[in-house]
Structure 1
Amino acid sequence: MLTLTYSPPFITKRLESIKKSRTSSSVVVCAAKGPRPRYPRVWKTRQRIGTISKSAKLVECINKLSNVKEEVYGALDSFIAWDLEFPLITVKKALKTLEDQREWKRIIQVTKWMLSKGQGRTMGSYFTLLNALAEDERLDEVEELWTKIFTENLDSTPRVFFDKMISIYHKRGIHEKMFEIFADMEELGIRPTVPIVTMVGNVFKELGMMDKYKKLKKKYPPPKWEYRYIKGKRVKIRAKDLRAIDGSNKDADAGKHEETYQTSNDMHEEADTSSDELDIEANDPSKDVIRHTDQTPNEFYEESKTNSEELEIEANISS
């Protein structure tokens, strides 16, 4: 019979190669720092639960303070002292709550504090700060922030910032700077929205620049189609039909308002007349006399007799 025998060193080498292949597949070996663990890092927290209540506490904490910068910054630092990461979601929700409450100074303070920490440096944060500065009538800081954003992001500045700056200058009657920003939009190839075109066109009309007004209307004609969301679906509607629908709705609302006003007036008049009649009846004693005179003497005698008997019964019961 034939027998197959293997040398012991060959078997040991084979087993060692199998073990190495198994260990290499389970652990990833980095270039210079050894094996990297596969479990997630403990100090990385992405918890979104409880951020609403925490943001409400942050708003309450801020509203109790004065407008001193050091006091507000110290309170905010102490509020996030025990957090492992910067609570960006909580701060964003707190800013939204403050915006609903129209607390523009608090929004400016919290946003500047957040940016000083190196957190939340997004276009949304800068737009919130720009809007708050404009509402707080800090035009110098608005222009400074706008120039910083525009110079750093020349080709990627969102259209919302242009619209906001044009509306700010239009509200304050600074037409020259408004025209400059509109010219920057045209140079960068950013198409203005319909409200901005109408705003600039109205300024051209006020200043008597009819040639520029005609060129503007020719370059940016009103859109033929508009989009509306009806029951959660995006519907494409002609602009003329949409205006007609809006006009009919306004007329219907006005008619309903007039009808309700007339009915309310009629109800008030009826109530006044009924109250006047009741007052006249209460103050006029002749009706009682007429009521008694219509009765015959026998009926009047029987009625008085029954009344006297009822009074005697009540007196006996009370005694």
Structure 2
Amino acid sequence: MAEAGSWFLSCRNPLLQKSKGLIVIRAPVSSVLAECSDDRFEQPEPKSLAVDKRLNKKAGKKEHHLWKKRESAGSGQKAINLVRIVSGLPNEKEAVYGALDKWTAWETEFPLIAASKALRILRQRNQWLRIIRVSKWMLAKGQGLTMGTYDTLLLAFDMDGRVDEAESVWNTILHTHTRSVSKKLFSRMISLYDHHHMMEKIIEVFADMEEVGVKPDEDTVRRVAQAFQKLGQEDKKKMVLKKYQSKWKYTHFNGERVRVRTNDWDG
């Protein structure tokens, strides 16, 4: 009842009159209630809530602006421009490096995202010489020191037959990153040596892999086992297969993918 009384007192309807602390109703109660209900819900919003809403809107706009600023929306077009530039140049180091320096001359920050995208495009097009030039230029600038860049560069060295340069980069990776070298890079280097029939080198990389505790994938296990076999070390081949080869593998039979037990003696 107290709440109802305060509600009536707060109502500004002219059909209500207050006299000596009493409320006098000059019209039917139903019409007064309806008009007072409308009047009650037309009260202005508290100032503090309005201020909070304005602050929230401003904060949202600011966060959106920062997100757009940090996201490099034009990196795709920059990457395409870079590919077009390097594809039209002779392979001389001075010509390529000069063009790349001009490409970044007006940038406030190194366009790393665009450069990484350009490397992916060049990789899809099998332009290994261009990849080598761009990657070396990035590394000389102290940029792109990532496992992805190293993997692309090692692949380019492999496809272009530049094993000595690949070994130089690989030794730098091992000495710089030591125990943070990824499984993918170990596999890449073992694959490179396998392509160029360097069995002893495969065993060396595999030894480094075991030393830092990186478990090889199935393809690497197969390459290492074949290397031991070609070197006439059958006992070590058996040890590698027993330790790392999966007991099961998947194959297709009558149009279906089925799991079969692995033969440890498969070469």
What 5-or-longer segments of structure 1 have no aligned partner? 1-37, 225-238, 252-319
Q: Distance in 1 between matches of 2:146 and 2:187?
A: 18
Which of 241, 245, 258 is the aligned partner of 1:221?
Answer: 245
Give the counterpart letter for 2:192 in structure 1.
Answer: I
Paired position in structure 2 for 1:172: 196
Q: Distance in 1 between matches of 2:185 and 2:161?
A: 17
Paired position in structure 2 for 1:249: 255
- Runs of 4+ residues deviating >6 angstroms: none
Q: Does the 8 Å CA contact 2:154/2:189 hold for their aligned counterparts? A: no
Matches within 5 A, 1:134-283: 134-224=158-248, 239=249, 242-243=250-251, 246-249=252-255
Please tell me whether residue 100 in structure 1 is matched to residue 124 in structure 2.
yes
Deviations along 1:184-241, one digit per CA (max 9) or x if unpaired, are: 22222221111111222223334443222222222223244xxxxxxxxxxxxxx4xx
Q: Distance in 1 between matches of 2:119 and 2:256?
A: 36
Deviations along 1:264-316, one digit per CA (max 9) or x if unpaired, are: xxxxxxxxxxxxxxxxxxxxxxxxxxxxxxxxxxxxxxxxxxxxxxxxxxxxx
Matches within 5 A, 1:8-157: 46-157=70-181
Q: Relative contact order (C-alpha < 8 Å, sep 6+): which is higher?
A: 2
Identity of aligned residues (%): 43
Q: Distance in 2 between matches of 1:122 and 1:164?
A: 15
Q: Distance in 2 between matches of 1:187 and 1:116?
A: 30
Could you state the TM-score of these two structures normalised by the residue count of structure 2?
0.66
Q: How much has 1:171 moved relative to structure 2?
A: 1.5
Could you state the TM-score of these two structures normalised by the residue count of structure 1?
0.56
Q: CA RMSD in A?
A: 2.6
Q: Does the 8 Å CA contact 1:45/1:85 hold for their aligned counterparts? A: no
What 5-or-longer segments of structure 2 have no aligned partner? 1-61, 258-267
Q: Distance in 2 between matches of 1:128 and 1:185?
A: 20
Structure having the higher Rg: 1
Q: How much has 1:250 moved relative to structure 2?
A: 8.1
